Amino acid sequence: MSITIENLSYSYVQHSGEKIAALKGVSCSIEVGDFVGIMGPTGCGKTTLLQLLAGLLSPTSGHIYLHGEDINAKGYDRNSLRQTIGVVFQDPEYQLFATTVEKDVAFGLKHSGLCRDEINANVKWALETMGFEFEKIRHQSPLALSGGEKRRVAIAGVLATKPKILMFDEPIAGLDPYGRQSFLQFITQMNQSGTTVIMVSHNIEALCEYTRHLLVLEQGKLIDSGATRDVFGRRKQMVSSAFGQTEAQKIVTMLSEGALALSPAIVTYDDLLSALKQELTRGGMG
């Protein structure tokens, strides 16, 4: 399902009485089956945008259309929204509460209209998708699991509803390199199977390597958007704390200060390796 965001704003009042504008006039669209990254400094409105898309907050002004329907319109089917969009917030393991893993993962299917056998099949699929042996894990208490296992169970609870749109808020924060790569490969597979993926992350390398489109927020405003490669390619024209260079771009900059000038279009490590191989073939580094 496509998402269209029109002039979306959200403000809230702090305990001190000060009004804070978390989002200011954001407009963009997300196509079916896309893999979209959202980047920007802490406090720029990334998590607020996810909460608005999930229907957990109502906008101060503006509209969010899911497949042409305003999700905040009177009479909109909120249960349908919950079945369409799955969201995994930071530290999802803290959302676990049921007495067994199986019950926890099944909780989101409570009002799905599925029969018991269908619910059981979804729960089994979700846990196995997250790398668990169903019979081994199903009766265990989620609170007795390791931190990494808790996170995977929490994500399984979202997957069990088989949402068409999956949203992640800093999903790889705190993971070791192997864990990051495994998780990113997993959500890439979900995306390739047709699921729309939206991922908030401070990890520039992950956003660059895996997403196809990028939204860049700063102080509640959308300051850039487009194909990921194009957005990173515009970095030199952007004077913003929301922007950064990939490691490959930093290497290109350092090399250009010496005797080797490489293409400014290089964004990823694969780009860099390809360019260096071409230079070696031509003897450009001799």
**β-sheet with 3-13: strand ranges across:** 19-30, 3-13, 61-66, 69-70
Q: What are phi and psi of 185, to 5 degrees?
A: -65, -35
- Tell me the mean pLDDT per 10 residues along the chain, length 286: 93 88 96 95 93 95 95 90 88 84 91 89 93 94 87 90 93 82 89 95 89 94 92 66 66 72 72 76 60
Q: What is the pTM of this model?
A: 0.82
Fold of 1-85+208-242: Rossmann fold (3.40.50)
Round to whole Å and give the CA distance between 150 and 97.
11
Span(s) in the chain for CATH 3.40.50.300: 1-85+208-242
Q: What is the pLDDT of residue 286?
A: 47
C-alpha to C-alpha distance for 83 and 166, rounded to whole angstroms: 11
Can you read off the two tokens belonging to residue 158?
Answer: 């979202």
- Residue 100 contacts residue 142 (beta carbons within 8 Å): yes
Exposure class string for 261-277: b at 16+ Cβ within 10 A, else e: ebeeebbbeebbeebbe
* Residue given tokens 């969010």 in the structure block: 64
Q: Return the axis-axis angle of helices 116-129 and 147-159, rounded to nearest 10°.
A: 140
Report the distance separating Cα 263 and Cα 63, nearest Å.
41
